[in-house]
Structure 1
């Protein structure tokens, strides 16, 4: 009898976890690295809802992405923005920090997810942003 109760609870927990990894990605139709970042997310267990947009500035404005943190695509998870080539593991970190409204990898650093080109990796940081506009470093990646 216990097994019958635990199995539905296990599956309910898995369904909740799957729902929790759902992310919307807004991207320009002409951007190839955006598609590569989406592949990175899918490879790491995210269910991606891909939205092709012609007015990315409006999307960034809607979700509060400051211009200085801008990149080529914007993800949204749990109402928080994920700007640019943020690694999947750092998106999970963002979700655990209620004070943050988003995270960004400004620009398009080589070696970040979706920007892999050979063995080169530029140094970059994942920047968190809170509701008062204060920035903090969520993670740092060294150059190789």
Structure 2
């Protein structure tokens, strides 16, 4: 009985990481090489089940324009998941929710709000919204985060 239990535990130990890796959600992140907060946001995504394909870009304005990110929604980095854009420091939970929103072209946390994922600075935070861009070009608030 002990041998069977040991074998089962060893099997679980060695196969669990393989199963986890297969379940990671792919996302492409485009960022400037000199932006540190972008790397922090990537870490936030990775710790929440995403496999990040990191693309260092020479011209982020061109990337944003190509992906349909309106200047009013702009931030420092732009991601793409399932053909939709994710602009700025959007929490992972909202990135996951975007995957179920066929009515949206993408979502954004405009600017660089303190306290958002990747923008944690000395415990300071500010209230911010995650804005969705509808297929007809309108902005809708998809989430609100209070200052804490």
Taking structure 1 as the reference length, the TM-score comes to: 0.86
Unpaired runs of at least 5, structure 2? 1-17
Counterpart of 2:5? none
Counterpart of 2:140? 136
Q: How many residues align?
A: 130
Q: d(CA) in 2 for partners of 1:138 and 1:124?
A: 11
Alignment of 1:47-66 (within 5 A): 47-66=51-70
Q: d(CA) in 1 for partners of 2:80 and 2:129?
A: 19
Moved segments of 4+, more than 3 Å: none
SS in structure 2 at match of 1:57 = helix
Q: d(CA) in 1 for partners of 2:87 and 2:39?
A: 14
Q: Deviations over 1:33-78 (max 9, x none)?
A: 0000000000101000000001101110111000000000000000
| Deviation (angstroms), 1:132 | 1.1
Please point out which of 88, 93, 100 is paired with 1:96. 100
| Deviation (angstroms), 1:118 | 2.0
Counterpart of 1:4? none
Q: CA RMSD in A?
A: 1.5
Task: Say which one has the larger Rg.
Answer: 2
